[in-house]
């Protein structure tokens, strides 16, 4: 029996039809129970980390081992060569290999290629355009590519979050209240996880509030697309600059920091704006205005007592541990559904 | 058949009853012969190295592969995120993730968690208290934890040494003469291996001499505990500051350097004391006063011709190679006895 | 059935009889098809990288996984200890472990030991003498050692190149025209790949031209040996300093940069010489004088548009992708033929 995802890449939740999302989440939940078979015996994938990783690396390696296959982890620039990404470049600088050659080499040796390639953090449009990820897909020449967090997306996080939300709030999330809460952080962070969270919530038809300081509104075009998606499914998106009221009535509060899109790439200018909102930490007081029993979500890694206080993170409504565990389950589901013979 | 160690952690030799030590060493010896079965098929452990490793990493990875399972190796701060260890910390510094979140995440994905966390080398009492290891065990929430060398212990080394001593001197070590010989080293080293060696020898009821310069005596409380343990089993511990006489009659000479506990954390003050004892290298002349056919032990890595001379390390009585090989065998025994279904 | 390579090391193409080269290349080609068996189940090898790697690391890890075994990757100095290589050294410097102890430890835990140890780049004779590789073989004490690129050799590249040449030009390469084309590079590179290419071509009886600027002629003694080998098989070697005529009539153009042997180790003096030949890039114009349909080869990683232009690398005659894929196939063949029970 070959499923609809066999041989496919996973670059974004946007690539998946509703039935395919449902299939992956059903498969993920079923994989909680250990199974004696080794359905991916003889299958090797490469996991390429252009940036550091804990959860994703361990989830990927454990997922393949659990399924009977193998994940080879590569960290170019650390234990391998540094890559050039510009087409046609005259390579007389630091980079000793072109991404095209490296990726084609890797793709020629394995059955699937996971890649982590964070945002450049200089040009918002370029980052939203996912140039590096697209170049990798092109160079892979048909070998499935799995996005392990790119400049502006993180589909495995989207799937893990969806699984946690459905198991916690119920299978039908339409019309449920979701708040994406901007939180402080010592550094400006990319838009990958905020967008992944908005993709998951809008795809589910949730009623979304993006609660952030002025200047931190997500990119207008992206927001319009998420809004259209949410509305098509009976939900919607509004933006609130009110630290307190923005979380009012929320059944799920997703805390995440990001750099101000209005000053993207000008991070020295952006810093004072970020520093002025250090009191946006999600604490018990802020959670008090949310719906009774509201869930708290965060993708980790988290700056505790900066992004959210210990009592919220470790509190009864926190889904943080479930989200992390789900990362393994959805990783297994993705490998199984795309790579099984 | 489930053994007495199933689902257990291994933090110290102190955690094991005599029958459990015997079981592990019997299992280790039996695992010398390759076996066609894969008793840990489908089992993944994570090996977390907060400090570098060669023997331990390779032993762990090979042990799991030999048993049909998989070991995922993580090096936080190098290929993953740097960890905060203080409870309640406001995380606005370098550390991007709290140990509690990282460990809980890892423990949620695997069946066992090995961890190497060296001494802080600032506060002897804190290091002897094993705060980091305890925090990791707490955060692992029931997932077995394996100590791959902590601030003040190294149980896998203890077991490997015991296997080498029993196979070399005979199964009953009670009353046999064991010398722990302090040796010079360019750097002050932690107490993990000296304590692990004293644990192994005192648990075996050996007659122990700690041969070290003045100021290098092991911590008094720890020594009292090891002495009580040795005496309960028919042995004993004495301390000798005599470079020559301290090794007299020893059947096993265990060479190891450590920083002076009397100046712990004040390493600039300690350096001249250490430098004055550069002639404490174990050489043929020092070994000559030991018992005829005396064995030489060292845990590796070793500064050759500083800690011991080539002719001693490579000589007929050296157990160094056996100790290293035993590291794989005891690692396999520990994984097998704790993790098999 | 035990083959002639069982239990053997692979240090150089020179170690292999013709029939053994043929066996490895036949096995490699046959391994293109996935096989359900796991002939190396329970077999672990260690791959030790004293220098960075992408292709070799991934090929080694994937090869073992495909065959049912496991490859443990170690990077001493990065995730393990830094090694001393001098015999008898008094180890009071940076190196915390002697190569002899580290290698004996590794070899005692695994069934085979791959090692990458690049040239020291100070003394040509020392590098050609392969002191580090020889020391590793001695310390491994009978455990098979696989050369993953040493100071002056790269046998897995030789085999991958031979497979590409035979499949492209025909199984009998005697008398066929092979040009080794020196190309520019921002850095002086070692002789490992140029020598590996000359070994492969001379062993095949090809008619070889080394096309390089004056001062870049390969070491005279090595060249004499390669020439004798080529002539014994009906081929030959000549050296041409003519950038254009040197490639005339070549059926295979192997592009590779190397530091000027005439100024080996005096790299500041060598730089102006190298810089004067920046126009030696292999481009369409240079390829135009080669035989019609001439093949282009390069071992990767490549500085695109410095060593060769995009249109040559990506052109119809390029074997670069095949060479890279072959690295996996020959790695599998070597592991299978040497390590199968």
ipTM score of complex: 0.94
Cβ(B67)–Cβ(C44) under 8 Å?
Answer: no
Is pLDDT above 80 for A211? yes
pLDDT of residue A77: 62
Radius of gyration of the CA atoms of chain C, in A = 20
Compare CB distances from B62 to C44, C90, C97 and report the shortest one's residue: C44
Contact C80 B59 (CB under 8 A): no
Q: Is B59 on the interface with C (CB under 8 A)?
A: yes
Contact B54 C42 (CB under 8 A): no
Is pLDDT above 70 for C244? yes
Cβ(C210)–Cβ(C217) under 8 Å?
Answer: yes
pLDDT of residue A76: 74
Among the residue ranges B23-37, B66-80, B164-178, C97-111, the one predicted with the least confidence is: B66-80
pLDDT digits (tens, 9 = 90+) for C125-184: 999 999 999 999 999 999 999 999 999 999 999 999 999 999 999 999 999 999 999 999
- Mean pLDDT of the region C11-37: 94
Q: pLDDT band at residue B40, thresholds of 50, 70 and 90? A: very high
Compare CB distances from B89 to A68, A304, A325 and report the shortest one's residue: A304
Q: Which residues of C touch B309 (CB under 8 A)?
A: none
Contact C303 A109 (CB under 8 A): no
The CATH code that applies to domain B157-323 is 3.40.50.1370
| Distance, CA of B223 to CA of B170 (rounded, Å) | 26
Q: Is B318 on the interface with C (CB under 8 A)?
A: no
Contact A62 B70 (CB under 8 A): yes
Compare CB distances from B102 to A54, A62, A68 and report the shortest one's residue: A54
- Mean pLDDT of the region B107-128: 95
- Site from A47, A51, A53, A61 to mutate, B interface, most B CB atoms within 10 angstroms: A61
| Distance, CA of C9 to CA of C147 (rounded, Å) | 8
Number of inter-chain CB pairs under 8 A, A vs C? 97
In DSSP notation, A128-195 reads HHTHHHHHHHHHHTTS-EEESS-SS--HHHHHHHHHHHHHHH-S--TT-EEEEEE---SS---SHHHH
Q: pLDDT band at residue B51, thresholds of 50, 70 and 90? A: confident
Domains B13-153+327-339 and B157-323 share a fold: yes
Residue with tokens 């390590």: C339
**β-sheet bridge partners, residue C295:** C252
Domain extent listing, chain B = 13-153+327-339, 157-323
pTM comes to: 0.95
Cβ(C112)–Cβ(C339) under 8 Å?
Answer: yes
Nearest residue on chain C to A88, judged by CA atoms? Answer: C310
Q: Is A302 on the interface with B (CB under 8 A)?
A: yes
pLDDT digits (tens, 9 = 90+) for A214-249: 999 999 999 999 999 999 999 999 999 999 999 999
The CB density around residue B4, as the number of other CB atoms within 10 Å, is 11
Query: Sheet of A70-74: strands edge to edge?
Result: A70-74, A44-49, A112-116, A145-147
- Mean pLDDT of the region B155-161: 98
Helix (H, G, I), strand (E, B) or coil at B181: strand
Query: Strands A83-84 and C252-256: what pairing?
Result: unpaired
Alpha helices in chain B (DSSP H): 18-30, 55-66, 99-109, 124-129, 131-140, 155-169, 192-203, 220-232, 267-275, 284-288, 310-313, 320-339
pLDDT of residue C78: 65
| Distance, CA of A297 to CA of A253 (rounded, Å) | 6
The CB density around residue C57, as the number of other CB atoms within 10 Å, is 23
B181's tokens = 């010989």
In DSSP notation, C198-215 reads HHHHHHTT-EEEEE--TT
pLDDT of residue B77: 62
pLDDT of residue C52: 79
Nearest to A107 by CA among A73, A140, A130: A140
Q: Which residues of A touch B80 (CB under 8 A)?
A: 52-54, 57
Compare CB distances from B54 to C41, C70, C105 and report the shortest one's residue: C105
| Distance, CA of B144 to CA of B7 (rounded, Å) | 6
Compare CB distances from B101 to A57, A300, A327 and report the shortest one's residue: A300
Question: How far is the alpha carbon of B233 from chain C, nearest alpha carbon, in Å?
Answer: 33
Compare CB distances from C301 to A92, A96, A106 and report the shortest one's residue: A96
| Distance, CA of C131 to CA of A332 (rounded, Å) | 46
pLDDT of residue A95: 87
Query: What is the CA angle B129-B131-B134, rounded to 5?
Result: 105
- Mean pLDDT of the region A119-138: 95
Contact B304 C96 (CB under 8 A): no
| Distance, CA of C244 to CA of C181 (rounded, Å) | 10
Residue numbers of C between 146 and 175 with CB closer than 8 Å to B: none
Q: Is C138 on the interface with B (CB under 8 A)?
A: no
Nearest to C254 by CA among C204, C311, C320: C320
pLDDT digits (tens, 9 = 90+) for A178-192: 999 999 999 999 999
Q: Which residues of C touch B149 (CB under 8 A)?
A: none
Chains that touch C (3 or more CB pairs under 8 A): A, B
Question: How far is the alpha carbon of B108 from chain A, nearest alpha carbon, in Å?
Answer: 6
Query: What is the CA angle B162-B165-B170, rounded to 5?
Result: 115
| Distance, CA of C264 to CA of B239 (rounded, Å) | 57
Q: pLDDT band at residue B78, thresholds of 50, 70 and 90? A: low
Eight-state DSSP code of residue A44: E
Q: Which residues of A touch C324 (CB under 8 A)?
A: 101, 104-105, 108-109
Q: What is the fold, at CATH topology level, of the domain defined by A13-153+327-339? A: Rossmann fold (3.40.50)
Q: Is B321 on the interface with C (CB under 8 A)?
A: yes
**β-sheet bridge partners, residue C98:** C84
What DSSP element (H or E) covers A208? strand A207-211
pLDDT of residue A79: 57
């Amino acid at each position: 029996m070959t499923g609809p995802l066999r041989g496919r890449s996973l670059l974004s939740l946007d690539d998946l039809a509703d039935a395919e999302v449902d299939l992956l989440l059903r498969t993920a939940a079923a994989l909680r129970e250990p199974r004696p078979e080794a359905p991916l015996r003889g299958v090797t994938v490469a996991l390429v980390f252009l940036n550091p990783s804990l959860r994703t690396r361990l989830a990927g390696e454990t997922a393949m081992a659990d399924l009977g296959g193998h994940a080879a982890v590569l960290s170019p620039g650390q234990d391998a060569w540094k890559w050039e990404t510009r087409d046609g470049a005259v390579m007389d600088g630091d980079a000793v290999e072109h991404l095209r050659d490296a990726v084609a080499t890797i793709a020629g040796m394995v059955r699937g290629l996971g890649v982590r390639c964070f945002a450049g953090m200089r040009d918002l449009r370029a980052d939203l355009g996912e140039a590096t990820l697209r170049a990798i897909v092109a160079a892979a020449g048909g070998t499935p590519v799995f996005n392990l967090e790119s400049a502006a997306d993180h589909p495995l996080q989207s799937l893990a979050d969806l699984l946690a939300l459905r198991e916690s709030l119920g299978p039908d999330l339409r019309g449920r209240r979701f708040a994406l809460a901007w939180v402080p952080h010592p550094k400006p962070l990319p838009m990958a996880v905020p967008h992944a969270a908005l993709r998951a919530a809008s795809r589910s038809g949730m009623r979304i509030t993006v609660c952030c300081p002025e200047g931190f509104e997500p990119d207008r075009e992206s927001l319009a697309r998420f809004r259209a998606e949410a509305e098509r499914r009976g939900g919607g998106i509004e933006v609130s600059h009110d630290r307190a009221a923005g979380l009012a009535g929320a059944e799920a509060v997703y805390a995440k920091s990001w750099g101000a899109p209005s000053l993207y790439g000008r991070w020295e200018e952006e810093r004072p704006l970020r520093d002025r909102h250090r009191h946006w930490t999600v604490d018990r007081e802020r959670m008090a205005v949310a719906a009774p029993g509201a869930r708290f979500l965060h993708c980790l890694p988290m700056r505790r007592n900066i992004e959210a206080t210990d009592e919220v993170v470790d509190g009864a409504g926190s889904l943080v541990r479930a989200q992390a565990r789900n990362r393994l389950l959805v990783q297994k589901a993705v490998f199984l559904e795309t790579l099984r013979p």
